[in-house]
Amino acid sequence: MFVTVTLTLNGCSDSSARRTQLKTDASSTPSRMQDASRVDADDYIHLSEQEWRTRLSPEQYRILREKGTERAFSGAYWNHKGQGVYRCAACRLVLFNSETKFKSGTGWPSFWKPAKDDSVQTKSDLSLGMRRTEALCHRCKSHLGHVFDDGPAPTGLRYCINSASLIFEDRE
């Protein structure tokens, strides 16, 4: 059984809303999307932590919802070279394009910019006794990783992202 969810995404660069349809296999627990009525005017997905637990693997839940991290050089995408897009593992929002992925040597997938200006949000993270900038999915507010200012031109940024927070979609 397939479910089609249509979401209106605000904040596009041309200031107009665009519509995106996401088709997911409703019988596959990690892939199921929420009912469109559960998305508010700011495109935020409202799910209980129990609902997230049923939709994500234990590792994805630990990273995306509890702000965990995976060990360096252990994730599926740290050395991935495919051409396509990287989506949020929780809500399937397109977060990064393969063209902005680079080899950082850190052991995590690294990108120098998000797919769209508003697809990744940032906020101050003072955990672990240091000041960092957390990267979050715009739509579901899931933890993706952190942003550092030691990346390549043209942005100088390094979005250091956990593989478990991503799903790769090959360019067809």
Domain of 56 in residue numbering reads as 2-64
Same domain? 88 vs 162? yes
- Give the CATH number of the domain where residue 142 resides: 2.170.150.20
117 and 164 in a common domain: yes
The string of pLDDT tens digits covering residues 92-134 is: 999 999 999 999 999 999 999 999 999 999 999 998 889 999 9
54 part of a folded domain = yes
- The CA distances from residue 163 to 95, 145, 168, in Å, are 12, 9, 9
Domain identity same for 56 and 95? no
Q: Is residue 72 part of a domain?
A: no
- Give residue 42's pLDDT band: very low, low, confident or very high (50, 70, 90): low
**Any catalytic annotation for residue 140?**
no
| Catalytic option among 88, 91, 137, 160 | 160
Nearest to 103 by CA among 83, 120, 80, 86: 80
Which residues share a beta bridge with 114? none
Give yes or no: residues 101 and 158 share one domain.
yes
Residue 78 is assigned to a structural domain of this protein? no
51 backbone dihedrals φ, ψ, rounded to 5°: -65, -40
Predicted confidence band at 171 (pLDDT cuts at 50, 70, 90)?
Answer: confident
Q: Are 109 and 86 in contact, with CB atoms under 8 Å apart?
A: yes
Q: How many domains does the chain have?
A: 2
| Domain identity same for 52 and 105 | no
Please state the separation of Cα 111 from the chain's center in Å. Answer: 12
